[in-house]
Structure 1
Amino acid sequence: MFELFFSTYISSTIRFLFLLAPFFVVTMFLALTRGMPAPEKSFVIRRACIAAAIMGIILFFAGPLLFSAIGITLNSFRIGAGTLLFLTAISLVTSGTRNHATGLPDEDRDDIAVVPLAVPVMIGPATIGAILVYGAELKRASEVAGGLLGLVSSLLILAVLLRLSGYLEKVLGETGLNILSKISGLILSAMAAEIVLTGITGFIANI
């Protein structure tokens, strides 16, 4: 049981971390918090990560209930969510930004932690769909525990990267962060393809 928990935890942490597109989030955070004092930036990071964690945990458990209420199958949702995730991956690869987050740094808000940083920069439409799918796929208690801990761990890693965002900007520069965002997009496209193909395979098997 521990081996199943540990393997699910490791794979889920990696999956969720790439779903969050951390280097894109770092780029957006730098743009949104330019000129802020360090204590205020730390407060924004805490609020954003807590808000994203609450939403992510709700989505993680909401999949089966949502699918049952709407009357759609998991395989059908896999195809839809995977397609949306693939479009997001393409936007990351081609332009270095998520298609739903274009122009957000220009917004002037008193509180940017929840909107737009937590939603939709961290938890966007494609991420929502993928979390619903991954949560619904896990059946055993050890898998659910590993997946949930993986989600929380990925957000903690993202929080650390945001705390180090100034240092990362100095070392990597804007070009380096964009390149890493594009690499994340490539990995996301592979994840999206896997979700879609799994959905198609399961859909055909149930015909």
Structure 2
Amino acid sequence: MDELITFGLLCLTSFFTLINPLGTMPIFLTMTNDLSDQERKHTAKKASLVSFIIIIGFALSGQLLFKFFGISVNSFKVVGGVIFFMMGMDMLQARLSAVKIKKNEVKTYVNDISITPLAIPMICGPGAITNAIVLMEDANSYTKIIILLVTIAVIVFITYLILLSSTKIIKLIGQTGINVMMRLMGLIVMVIAVEFFFSGLKPIILDIIK
């Protein structure tokens, strides 16, 4: 029982940190600034659903895909670190600006941003995907697999609720608060990026040396 609780807490904390719904919120707010509440809700719902499907898909078949394409988890971490660092740099400098769209382009715009960049790579990024694959490898029983899948569903649902509440949060903390949060989360994302990059690069270099 203690082992299951420990595994469950590991899944919960790691996925919440890597998916980082609070860090996704400023990007969501910025990119949906001109959308109605219904359109914003649809965007959040689709982004969350796509993210859930992708994370579950990689958790169940990630190792098979990596073997089929000859990709290692370490290479995935290196690329993920680069992507995270670039995202963190933009967030740190608050480069994101409001996007102006035409009314006849709203539907296409909602479909576009709900998949990229909201679902991929903001919610379902390299960190979350890699974490799902690694934890599935550690899940040596059906109970642990169920715990992992339920945890993913819970975190994605929490992310959806945070995105839905983003308009209320921005009224509470204001645009200045959003900019401060974006810079802070950008710094954290860049730190995670460095950790990801070198944790993947080190084994690759050691293999080359050998």
Q: In structure 2, what is the Cα distance between the partners aligned to 1:32 and 1:56?
A: 29
- 1:133 matched residue in structure 2: 130
1:154-189 Cα distance to aligned partner (Å, 9 max, x none): 322222222222211211111211211221111111
Q: In structure 1, what is the Cα distance between the partners aligned to 2:26 and 2:65?
A: 29
Q: In structure 2, what is the Cα distance between the partners aligned to 1:204 and 1:67?
A: 19
TM-score, with structure 1 as normaliser: 0.78
Deviation for aligned residue 1:143: 5.9
Deviation for aligned residue 1:201: 2.6
1:75-107 Cα distance to aligned partner (Å, 9 max, x none): 12211221221111111111253xxxx775536
The answer to whether the 8 Å contact 1:89/1:185 transfers is yes
- 1:116 matched residue in structure 2: 113
TM-score, with structure 2 as normaliser: 0.77
The answer to whether the 8 Å contact 2:78/2:197 transfers is yes
Equivalent AA in structure 2 for residue 170 of structure 1? K
The answer to whether the 8 Å contact 2:88/2:186 transfers is yes
Q: For this pair of structures, how many residues does the alignment match?
A: 200
Q: Tell which structure's C-alpha radius of gyration is larger.
A: 2
- 1:73 matched residue in structure 2: 72
Gaps of at least 5 residues in structure 1 are none
- 2:101 matched residue in structure 1: 106
Deviation for aligned residue 1:47: 3.1
Question: 1:62–1:130: structure 2 CA closer, same or farther, 3 Å change rule?
Answer: farther
1:17 maps to which of 16, 19, 27: 19
1:113-137 Cα distance to aligned partner (Å, 9 max, x none): 4421242223228954333322232
- Percent identity of equivalent pairs: 19
Question: 1:62–1:20: structure 2 CA closer, same or farther, 3 Å change rule?
Answer: farther
CA RMSD of aligned residues (A): 3.0
| Segment of structure 1 superposing worse, 176-185 or 50-59 | 50-59
- 2:203 matched residue in structure 1: 202
Q: In structure 1, what is the Cα distance between the partners aligned to 2:79 and 2:170?
A: 35
Query: In the TM superposition, what are the counterparts of 1:1-207 in structure 2 within 5 Å?
Result: 1-18=3-20, 21-28=23-30, 30-33=32-35, 36=36, 38-39=37-38, 41-97=40-96, 104-106=99-101, 108-110=105-107, 112-124=109-121, 127-138=124-135, 139-141=137-139, 145-206=146-207, 207=210
Equivalent AA in structure 1 for residue 195 of structure 2? E
Q: In structure 1, what is the Cα distance between the partners aligned to 2:21 and 2:66?
A: 21
Equivalent AA in structure 2 for residue 117 of structure 1? S
Gaps of at least 5 residues in structure 2 are none
SS in 1 for 2:71: coil
The answer to whether the 8 Å contact 1:57/1:148 transfers is yes
Q: In structure 1, what is the Cα distance between the partners aligned to 2:111 and 2:22?
A: 15
Deviation for aligned residue 1:7: 2.4
1:21-42 Cα distance to aligned partner (Å, 9 max, x none): 3222442354142xx2x45544
Q: In structure 2, what is the Cα distance between the partners aligned to 1:75 and 1:89?
A: 21
The answer to whether the 8 Å contact 1:26/1:161 transfers is no
